[in-house]
C-alpha cells in the first residue's frame, strides 16, 4: 500500500470515528449516572444504569404516547410529501402549460425565504383555521415543499419522452404515466426525499412547541424537554430518553437507505 493510500485511509478512518463518537457517547452516558458525565477524565465505558434510567424516563414522561404521536405525524407527513412532491415535480418536468415556468420559478424563489420569517404568518393562518393544538397544524403545512418538488422535477427530467409516448400509445392517461411509469423510475429520489422528510419532521421542535397546547399530543422532542427541570437536570435520564427517541429514526434510515441504494444500482445496471 502506497503512502498516499495510507494517508487517505487514515483520514477517512478519523472521519468515521469523529462521526460515530457522538452516538457512542450518547449510549455510554445513557448507561451511567449523571455524575459520570462530568467526571474527569470522562468515562468511556458502559455502566449498569440503563434499566434504571429507562424506568426514570417512563415514570417522568408519557414516552409511548409521544412516540405514537411522532410516528403518526412523521409517517403521514412523509407519505403526503412523497405523493404531492412527486406528482407536482413530474408535472413540471414533462407537461407544459401556460405559466408553468413562471409558477416554477416563483416556487423556487420561496426557498430563499428563511423559515423563521414564515412562523408568524403561518401561525396566524393556522389560528384562523382553528387548527391550534391539533395534528392538522403539524401535518397540513408539511404536505409539500419547494425543495421536494424541485428535487423530483430535476430527477424526472431524465425520464425519456419516448417511454412516455409509448405508454400513451398503449392507452395510458396522464395520471397513469405518473403512477405506472414515473414512480418506479423515481424510486431513488423518493427514498432520499423520504429520509430527509421523515428526519426533519421527527426532529422538529420549534413548530410543535408553538402550535401544540395539549400535552397528550406532544411529540418526542417536546416530551424530552419535560425531562429537564427548571433548576437541575438528570442528564443520564435525558441521554436515555434521547437514545430511545433516536433508535426508531436509525431503523427507518437503514430500511429506506437500502431502497435508495437498490434504486441507484438498478439504474446503473440498466444504463
Taken in order of first residue, the domains within the chain and their CATH numbers are 61-226 (1.10.3720.10)
Cβ(219)–Cβ(210) below 8 Å: no
Residue with grid cell 419516448, as numbered in its chain:
162
pLDDT in tens, 61-83: 899 999 999 999 999 999 999 99
Task: Report the alpha-carbon distance of residue 216 to residue 85 in Å, rounded.
Answer: 31
Cβ(182)–Cβ(82) below 8 Å: no
What pLDDT shows up at residue 262? 57
Quote the pTM value.
Answer: 0.85
Task: Report the alpha-carbon distance of residue 216 to residue 175 in Å, rounded.
Answer: 40
Cβ(22)–Cβ(206) below 8 Å: no
Task: Report the alpha-carbon distance of residue 154 to residue 86 in Å, rounded.
Answer: 11
Q: Which three cell numbers stand for residue 78?
A: 412523509
Handedness of CA 263, 162, 150, 74 (dihedral sign): negative
pLDDT bracket for residue 200 (50, 70, 90):
very high
| Apex 221 CA angle, 219 and 227, nearest 5 | 110
Task: Report the alpha-carbon distance of residue 138 to residue 197 in Å, rounded.
Answer: 13
Helix axes 187-203, 146-156, angle to 10 degrees: 170
Reference 35, options 223, 188, 232, 265; nearest CA is 232
pLDDT in tens, 5-33: 888 889 999 999 999 998 898 899 899 88
pLDDT in tens, 130-187: 999 999 999 999 899 999 999 999 999 989 999 999 999 988 899 999 999 999 889 8
What pLDDT shows up at residue 146? 93
Amino acid at each position: 500500500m502506497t503512502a498516499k493510500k495510507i494517508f487517505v485511509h487514515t483520514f477517512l478512518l478519523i472521519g468515521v470515528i469523529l462521526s460515530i463518537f457522538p452516538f457512542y457517547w450518547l449510549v455510554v452516558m445513557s448507561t451511567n449516572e449523571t455524575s459520570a458525565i462530568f467526571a474527569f477524565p470522562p468515562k468511556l465505558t458502559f455502566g449498569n444504569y440503563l434499566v434504571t434510567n429507562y424506568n426514570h424516563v417512563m415514570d417522568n414522561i408519557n414516552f409511548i404516547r409521544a412516540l405514537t404521536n411522532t410516528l403518526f405525524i412523521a409517517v403521514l407527513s412523509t407519505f403526503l410529501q412523497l405523493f404531492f412532491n412527486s406528482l407536482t415535480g413530474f408535472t413540471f418536468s414533462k407537461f407544459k402549460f401556460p405559466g408553468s415556468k413562471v409558477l416554477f420559478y416563483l416556487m423556487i424563489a420561496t426557498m430563499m425565504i428563511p423559515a423563521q420569517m414564515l412562523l408568524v404568518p403561518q401561525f396566524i393562518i393556522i389560528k384562523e383555521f382553528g387548527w391550534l393544538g391539533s395534528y392538522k397544524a403539524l401535518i397540513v403545512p408539511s404536505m409539500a415543499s419547494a425543495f421536494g418538488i424541485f428535487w423530483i422535477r430535476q430527477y424526472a427530467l431524465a425520464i425519456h419522452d419516448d417511454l412516455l409516448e409509448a405508454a400513451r400509445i398503449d392507452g395510458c392517461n396522464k395520471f397513469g404515466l405518473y403512477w405506472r411509469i414515473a414512480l418506479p423510475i423515481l424510486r431513488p429520489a423518493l427514498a432520499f426525499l423520504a429520509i430527509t422528510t421523515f428526519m426533519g419532521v421527527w426532529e422538529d421542535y420549534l413548530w410543535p412547541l408553538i402550535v401544540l397546547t395539549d400535552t397528550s399530543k406532544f411529540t418526542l422532542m417536546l416530551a424530552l424537554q419535560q425531562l429537564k427541570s427548571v433548576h437541575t437536570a438528570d442528564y443520564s435520564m435525558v441521554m436515555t430518553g434521547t437514545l430511545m427517541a433516536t433508535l426508531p429514526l436509525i431503523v427507518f434510515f437503514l430500511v429506506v437507505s437500502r431502497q435508495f441504494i437498490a434504486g441507484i444500482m438498478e439504474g446503473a445496471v440498466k444504463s
